[in-house]
Structure 1
Amino acid sequence: MRKFYNLKRLTLTASLLLLSVAATFAQRISGRVTDARTKEALAGVTVLATGTTQGATTDGSGNYILPLKAAGTYTIRFSAIGSETRESKVPVGSGESVVLNVELTESNASLSEVVVVGSRSTQVRTSVETVAPVDVIQSRDLAATGQVEPTQQLNFVAPSFNSSRQTVADGTDHIDPATIRGLGPDQVLVLLNGKRRHNQALVNVNGTIGRGSVGTDLNALPATALERVEVLRDGAASQYGSDAIAGVINLRLKEKIGTSVNAQFGQQYAGDGRVLLLGVNHGFRLGKEGVLSVTVEGRSREATNRAGTYTGPVYFNWVNNGVVNQALRAQDEARIAQRGFSRENNMQIGNSAVDNIATFINMRLPVSKTATFYANGGYNYRRGIAAGFYRYPFQNTQIDTTIYRNGYLPQIQSTIQDYSGTAGLSGKSESGWNWDVSAVYGGNQFRFDVKNSLNASLARATTRPDRTQSEFYAGTLRFNQLTTDAGVSRDFGSQLGLNSFNVAGGLSYRVDNYQISAGEETSWQSYNQAPPATQFAAGAQVFPGFRPTNAVNATRNVFAAYVDVESDITSRLLLNAATRFENYSDFGGNVAWKVAGRYKIVDEILSIRGSISTGFRAPSMHQRLFSAVSTQFVNVGGTLTPLQVGTFRNGEAIANAFGIPQLKAERSLNYALGLTSRPVSNLSITVDAYQIDITDRIVLTGQFQRGTSTSGQVVTGILDGAGARDVNAAAFFTNAINTRTRGLDVVVSTSPRINTGKLDLTLAANFNRTEITELRGTERIPNDNTFGNVLFNRQQRGFIELANPRSKITLGANYTINKLRFNVRATRFGEVAVRDPSNAALDETYSPKIVTDINIGYALTKAITIAVGANNALDVYPDKIKNTQAFVSPPLDNTSFGRFVYSRNATQFGFNGGYYFVNLTANF
């Protein structure tokens, strides 16, 4: 009887509560939203009563119910991904229920849509109403770039995002480093449908942007599967955890019923680099309100080559530190003529060749009135091939002329596999708590194979039957991640007499696994006889395989807990506060916090927003555990010289002998202040300034080389004492620098009213500067004139401060009239520069350039559109390398005897020139 009595009392209390809520929201607007062209129901449309915090979302049948607190005349805004935002004024009487059905037309507008990333509040907000700047980029904007890979698409539509393909950079030729606000690829967090996305297996160890970092492979996702991308430009470690120092990229997958097809054929003006794309997405209806979206996409990209004419020695080495031996040069020229050797294009300097196939699914299925099951997952398979430096016959320690009579161009073949799966359940309890539980598993693996190469030490072992081996398996990198999350949120605004007071909290448990598998023995082994015999280069040329001593299979656990509070204190003032604790099993814990706010100075017209936050980035397992011996070409006396460079693992004997301490987390302090304005309904303006201070930033040091100098003798003794006699130089990961980044983001988006057709205009700009404020050595490697220039030399400093454009300004126009669509975009990439490791006379600076893209589309039918266009339509190239004097002493040459026409160390937008394409899209 007592249980029955308690149940009756609980039922009575719930009934009274429901009656109270019903009385509060006695009036409402309801209706159905459909597509103006297909008449299909539109699910996920955001319905907002502007000037209030009252919002709703359409269900799978396009229906919505918008409760209102009071009678009055409301402006109701309907916004949806890929559709034009529509507003209607509706008078609602006390206790009245008004029916409002609307049709939405397709739209290209993108920078003022409702956003999800950056807040766990249930309140609906647009990008001009949030406490932090967010770019919302729709699939149409991505496709309109004419690019086929997500990194390159974002590069031309997101002002603070930069990514350019690298060349002659080992594995980095195959995975594009991507940055936000000029920081490292590993200082931005990537989410997929709001859940943490796993990192790539590759760590960038060559001389490129992002050297020493571990990013996320955005190109593993099929662009055809993306509905939109949200780029949060603010520190968010307190909300999402490690890596979110510069910001967050949230990739949203399609959930639309119907079929879309995207096909493209394109090619560089120069006649190479052909691109083929075919992507198909189909959305199935599951039951009455569920959806299953399936995507299959294939991409094929041929290589490009912009190598210059080689002017250096081929068969006889007739130049030494710029001084020419004319007799040997004459012999060399005679041999070249005799054998018909071509100095033209014996290098491949440009895009790697890549074939890519990917499939992805995304589903959402209500399992009850209060709970929804969701899942997504996919697989990506990619094969690529890129070349290293040509090995000439005179380079006798790297070649056997009985095998390669005229030298050879070794190649790295990559096999990259990326896979992920997410399953979760979300819903709302009877007491009003929103809840979500999920599990995400993902991984990336990178297999190295070397072709058209040799192991020079093996080639001299005449008793070996495999001495002429030219192909090698060099090993595999793997990274896997399992993340489980549980979160809840509830808005207590009505109980507290506030417009909103959303409280969110949750727990997370993550397991990271990093592996290095050794290559076959001949890919890394030295077959040299004991001194004094000549020592030939060991391992496969261009990429010596991972050794058994490099192999690792390690796991770490990460526990996290967070609390997030967001409140509309008044109709004008919005405040947000968040804190997050994370504990890593391999290095300890961290607490991050954030406070942010937005104040409407003039309703709907002008607001001010700002934030202060701390952040952190845990050392990646790759940075803690990676080790390898690789052939790297280092500028020695003005000549690119091959060295066997060992990257040694943190905490092991050689690192300890150099005094390298254990890695610790990077920490940041972020400040942001901005203005947002929507002076009229078709114009939005955001201006945001920021400062990001990072301490203990993790870098990969320069190469500590053997040599005759004092420091060289110290290095020789350490390496020999640790048994690394076959290594010419050593490098390590260490917390060596502090940096300060300051910048300004500006985004202006408008759709001016014109008599004929529809016009959308967007101006987006980022101005950014990063400076190193402190460089710290160790007891064994002090920051002095001897070791400091090696610990983090001028070139490495340049990668941080100068290699990314300090400004990027994009002006885009989209004009639609009847069946025609015109898209024009001009992007100005700011100045970049390269510093030489030791000689300031070899520094290079490359001036700003403007790249223009043009796209013209015609609707053949309501469902099918054909477009022709050109990226970099005016065939603009970066400045050529200026220091080209190879035959002076000392040499003032950055071209490697003419082989490099354009810099490979700092590329604003690549150096492939113009690209034309034909694109066919269909939507059914």
Structure 2
Amino acid sequence: MKKRYLSSKIPFLLTLSLLCWSSWAVAQGVRGRVMDAQSRTALPGVSVAVEGTNSGTTTDADGNFTLSLQPGSYSLRVSFIGYTTQTVAAQVSGADFTTVNVALREETSSLSEVVVIGSRSTQTRTSTETVSPVDVIQSRDLLATGQVEPTQQLNFVAPSFNSSRQTIADGTDHIDPATLRGLGPDQVLVLLNGKRRHNQALININGTVGRGSVGTDLNAIPSAAIERIEVLRDGASSQYGSDAIAGVINLRLKERPGTTVNAQLGQQYESDGEVAQIGVNHGFKLGQNGFLSLTGEFRHRGATNRAGTYNGPVYVNWNVNRATGETDAAYIARRQGLYNQDQALIQQNNFSLENNMQVGNSRVDNAGLFLNMRLPLGATTSFYASGGLNYRKGKAAGFYRYPFQTTQVITEIYPNGFLPNIESTINDQSLLIGVNGESNGWRWDISNVYGGNSFRYDITNTNNASQFALKASAPTQFYAGTLSFYQHTYDASVAKDIGSQLGLKSFNVAAGLTFRNDQYRIKAGEEASYTNYDPASGRSGGAQVFPGYQPANAVNATRSMVGGYVDIETDLTENLLVNTAARYEYYNDFGGNLAGKLAARYKFSDAFSLRGSISNGFRAPSLHQRYFSAISTVFVSTGQGLEPRQTGTFRNDSPIAQAFGVPELTAEHSTNYSVGITSQPGRAVSITLDAYQINIRDRIIYSNQFARGTSAAGVIIGTILDQAGQQEVNAAQFFSNAINTQTRGIDVVVATSPRLGKGSIDLTLAANFNETKVVGDIQRPGALPNDAALGNFLFNRQDSARLTVGQPRSKIALTANYRLNKFGAVLRFTRFGEVQAFDPSNPRLDEFANPRLITDFSVSYRLQPTITLTLGANNIFDVYPDKLRMTQQPTPERFGSAVLDNSSYGRFVYGRSATQFGFNGGYYFLNVSASF
């Protein structure tokens, strides 16, 4: 019995013995606690990785971690979002755990951010060590602005960058034009993870900043996905290709493991423009050195309205012209009678004269999903990918149609008139895939980027006035067409540093080939969106506010480009850094361009360096500028009443453009000069100052209307239109390489991070001063005589002001970011310089907006190590730009041609052609951010 008992227990005893031995064998390794260096509170969710191995863990709710390791020497990499990563040594020996406690310091605005953009060298360089000026803006800096859209975040942290929302500007209400150094939206190149980002489908053809240009929609990228933004403020066409005349903006996506959540609720002081935003990013580790980062974000932006009180005609048009031979007394009496009739009907129908237009931000709902990943395929080779989907739904309004405007309103549907809406559906998608690695010292990279953007127009709360016979059954909404743009870019590059072979610290040689294919489409709208069903009636055809694209406007155009570059960067001495690059690109639709650059920095001491560059650049005309066309009916007031006129934007290669003598579009060419100083007079102080001059030749503009008329110029235009077979067309517009400009400016950045008592503070003073002027002669179409009136049809003083004084000539920002234990505060002062908007012909109607100082303030409290609550206000003192100069309105008691009306019967209180920072006033918000 005893033997049987023992034999039955032997397996159990052996198992128990093995478990005890196994427990003793692994009862060794590293354990410890991770805490905040200032508050000494525990940090849960911190990543603790053992370098060179697959071992790793995260801290628990109390900040503790445990790693089971065999005896030996190890390096632990301790990282947590929002804190500076630390690498600590750990020695494991014997049969017990080694204790390693780590205190992480919160990340601050480093004065020595490592710069990636502008160089293909592996040498680590900071913003004060590069040959060209670069701003490095971390995600925490973007978050601290209190803004939720990337364009507006950049607008308040990068003085050389400018973006203001537009109003009553059709599609431009939904995509913000963004510029660098006072140039155009299409003269700055946008990269995502170092690869070219596709352009938007929309071309700006309204009277806003960037008229005639095609930019890149930065708001299609979730702000929650952005780790940092690098802004290269120098011509870089030779390094990155077309569009990089003013510089390059490179957005780097997040890579780190862990989860971040950011949510914001806010609204304007005026109780409109509500904002609701939530963004979630989660990063996974893939193997030892790989990662997968996923981001989802939703943004809602409510509409704002700063319209004034309308004081014009509503039901009866009392603002009529004087009849031939009519006396002053008779004219006044006739207008007074009409005015009285109108006022009686306004009261009878309880028509509100307040806010019957929407002058302000459009309503926008934006949802996006993004990914960023890297997967090691071997010791030196990796597969990488990034991209995303973005969906945006917008709603903006146009001009109110009043009942007296019978050529535009079907009164059976809208007895009191209507406010038509432009509803946009914007889809954006992109995908980058690539493989890179290293072989025999050569770093190589092969990639493909696909990107696409589409903009669909739906017009609602409107009518086609030529369908008046249908009365109340006439349709009130229309599909007006879709614009789309798609791009494929293939890149292959190699690079190697052969400095050691030449006896130099560095001599990096890089070369690459690029092939790009672009596609631009216009799809026509439904028939009723553009057709005039009864031209003889004198009523307007097509959807009011935005007539649809016609079948004649439909296009499906493509082009291809092939190019190559060579880039050399070398530390010739310990103090002299030189960079030179050359690139050639050939486009199948207009030919080739060669760009080059020479830049250098000489370090006299740690406290002073001198840098400078000279380069030439180019911007290829966009497919949009080559192939966009549109035809619409415009009603013009004449002595006999309203006369319908067909107005068209004609393609650059169309017979009518050739009849006018408009040459084929070619590239814009630039010459860039830059000189600057960098200084680090102390460990905690950094200073950069850079002056620049950018000369642009053959700049592309969108002309004004060349209209028929009885004047000498009008007769010439009418003859050309008739000879081109366009007897039905009354006015024509084109894109043309017509002007030359010169831009000069200075960028200044001063930063310091001193200790302040028990806390710390980051202080940054950043400023941009720029001036653009039109130089040389305007290049008029070849078939037109050198006549001043014809010159104004092409490019008038209003167009010139839009380029030269339509954006602030200066922007100065002073930011203080203070932290003390769990508390933080951000105070920012931003001074926007003067802007101006000129009338096409009458200087008395010019408008000026004086400089304004905007103050933003927020306070934050760390509820837990992983959760921070921020309460703040942007434009805390509710500052608005100067109001339009209110002049006499054409009331019944006042008549004559000298009446000034800048305010459109009082509806516009603030200028909309040139804006500094918008006119929405103060905004307050509550933000919650968390990191796990």
**In which range does the TM-score fall when normalised by the shorter chain?**
0.7 to 0.9
Checking the alignment, whether the CA contact within 8 Å between 1:485 and 1:506 is kept in structure 2 is yes
2:487 is equivalent to residue 517 of structure 1: no
Distance 1:85 1:254, change over 3 A: closer
CA distance in 2, matches of 1:757, 1:275: 32
2:283 is equivalent to residue 277 of structure 1: no
Checking the alignment, whether the CA contact within 8 Å between 1:742 and 1:769 is kept in structure 2 is yes
The secondary structure found in structure 1 opposite 2:483 is strand
State the partner residue of 1:477: 483
The secondary structure found in structure 2 opposite 1:231 is strand
Checking the alignment, whether the CA contact within 8 Å between 1:111 and 1:137 is kept in structure 2 is no
Deviation at 1:284, TM superposition (A): 1.1
1:186-585 paired onto structure 2 within 5 Å: 186-320=186-320, 325-429=335-439, 431-459=440-468, 462=469, 468-529=474-535, 533-585=536-588
Letter matched to residue 500 of structure 2: S
2:833 is equivalent to residue 830 of structure 1: yes
1:899 aligned to which of 893, 907, 921: 907
State the partner residue of 1:587: 590
Checking the alignment, whether the CA contact within 8 Å between 1:35 and 1:41 is kept in structure 2 is no
CA distance in 1, matches of 2:909, 2:513: 52
State the partner residue of 1:67: none
CA distance in 2, matches of 1:565, 1:58: 36
CA distance in 1, matches of 2:108, 2:832: 24
Distance 1:217 1:302, change over 3 A: same
Distance 1:234 1:59, change over 3 A: farther
TM-score by length of 1: 0.88
2:748 is equivalent to residue 746 of structure 1: yes
2:711 is equivalent to residue 705 of structure 1: no
Q: Deviations over 1:519-566 (max 9, x none)?
A: 00110112124xxx3322121111100000100011111101000000
Letter matched to residue 668 of structure 2: E
State the partner residue of 1:848: 851
The secondary structure found in structure 2 opposite 1:798 is helix
CA distance in 2, matches of 1:59, 1:124: 27
2:697 is equivalent to residue 691 of structure 1: no
Q: Deviations over 1:599-630 (max 9, x none)?
A: 0011x221000000000000000000000125
CA distance in 2, matches of 1:169, 1:605: 49
Distance 1:435 1:549, change over 3 A: same
Letter matched to residue 170 of structure 2: D
Deviation at 1:85, TM superposition (A): 9.2
Deviation at 1:83, TM superposition (A): 4.6
State the partner residue of 2:173: 173
Q: Deviations over 1:264-310 (max 9, x none)?
A: 00000001000000110000111222110000000011100000011
2:107 is equivalent to residue 107 of structure 1: yes
Letter matched to residue 293 of structure 2: S
Checking the alignment, whether the CA contact within 8 Å between 2:538 and 2:643 is kept in structure 1 is no
Checking the alignment, whether the CA contact within 8 Å between 1:162 and 1:182 is kept in structure 2 is yes
The secondary structure found in structure 2 opposite 1:892 is coil
Q: Deviations over 1:24-44 (max 9, x none)?
A: xxxxxxxxxx99656845899
State the partner residue of 2:648: 646
CA distance in 1, matches of 2:404, 2:710: 25
Deviation at 1:326, TM superposition (A): 1.6
1:651-662 paired onto structure 2 within 5 Å: 651-662=653-664
State the partner residue of 1:875: 878
Distance 1:163 1:235, change over 3 A: same
CA distance in 2, matches of 1:633, 1:347: 21
Deviation at 1:654, TM superposition (A): 1.8
CA distance in 2, matches of 1:646, 1:44: 67
Checking the alignment, whether the CA contact within 8 Å between 2:111 and 2:752 is kept in structure 1 is no
Q: Deviations over 1:393-432 (max 9, x none)?
A: 2222212222211111111000000000011111110x10
Letter matched to residue 514 of structure 2: S
1:158-169 paired onto structure 2 within 5 Å: 158-169=158-169
1:736-815 paired onto structure 2 within 5 Å: 736-774=738-776, 775-815=778-818
CA distance in 2, matches of 1:191, 1:35: 37
Letter matched to residue 848 of structure 2: T
Deviation at 1:456, TM superposition (A): 1.4
1:584-733 paired onto structure 2 within 5 Å: 584-602=587-605, 604-630=606-632, 645-722=647-724, 724=726, 727-733=729-735
CA distance in 2, matches of 1:913, 1:374: 44
Distance 1:780 1:859, change over 3 A: same
CA distance in 2, matches of 1:892, 1:870: 38
CA distance in 1, matches of 2:764, 2:511: 37
Deviation at 1:778, TM superposition (A): 2.2
Checking the alignment, whether the CA contact within 8 Å between 2:275 and 2:301 is kept in structure 1 is yes
CA distance in 2, matches of 1:738, 1:802: 16
Deviation at 1:783, TM superposition (A): 4.8
Higher mean C-alpha deviation, range 296-305 or range 751-760: 751-760
Letter matched to residue 156 of structure 2: F
The secondary structure found in structure 2 opposite 1:152 is helix
Checking the alignment, whether the CA contact within 8 Å between 1:60 and 1:289 is kept in structure 2 is no
Unaligned 5+ segments in structure 1 are: 1-33, 46-56, 63-77, 89-99
State the partner residue of 2:918: 910
Deviation at 1:666, TM superposition (A): 0.1
Distance 1:38 1:695, change over 3 A: farther
CA distance in 1, matches of 2:865, 2:86: 21
Letter matched to residue 360 of structure 1: F
Checking the alignment, whether the CA contact within 8 Å between 2:54 and 2:288 is kept in structure 1 is no
State the partner residue of 1:8: none
Letter matched to residue 899 of structure 2: P
CA distance in 2, matches of 1:116, 1:44: 27
Unaligned 5+ segments in structure 2 are: 1-33, 37-42, 58-77, 89-99, 323-330
Answer with 1 or 2: which has the greater Rg.
2
CA RMSD of superposed structures (Å):
2.8
- Identical-residue share of aligned pairs (%): 62
Deviation at 1:717, TM superposition (A): 3.8
Checking the alignment, whether the CA contact within 8 Å between 1:424 and 1:438 is kept in structure 2 is yes
State the partner residue of 1:6: none
Checking the alignment, whether the CA contact within 8 Å between 2:673 and 2:694 is kept in structure 1 is yes
The secondary structure found in structure 2 opposite 1:331 is helix
Higher mean C-alpha deviation, range 515-524 or range 727-736: 727-736
1:46-195 paired onto structure 2 within 5 Å: 83=83, 105-109=105-109, 112-195=112-195
Letter matched to residue 903 of structure 2: T
State the partner residue of 2:15: none
Distance 1:284 1:641, change over 3 A: farther
Deviation at 1:886, TM superposition (A): 2.6
CA distance in 1, matches of 2:398, 2:632: 12
TM-score by length of 2: 0.87
The secondary structure found in structure 1 opposite 2:141 is helix
CA distance in 2, matches of 1:288, 1:161: 38
Letter matched to residue 487 of structure 2: Q
State the partner residue of 2:17: none
Deviation at 1:442, TM superposition (A): 0.6
Checking the alignment, whether the CA contact within 8 Å between 2:46 and 2:79 is kept in structure 1 is no
Distance 1:227 1:682, change over 3 A: same
Distance 1:111 1:727, change over 3 A: farther
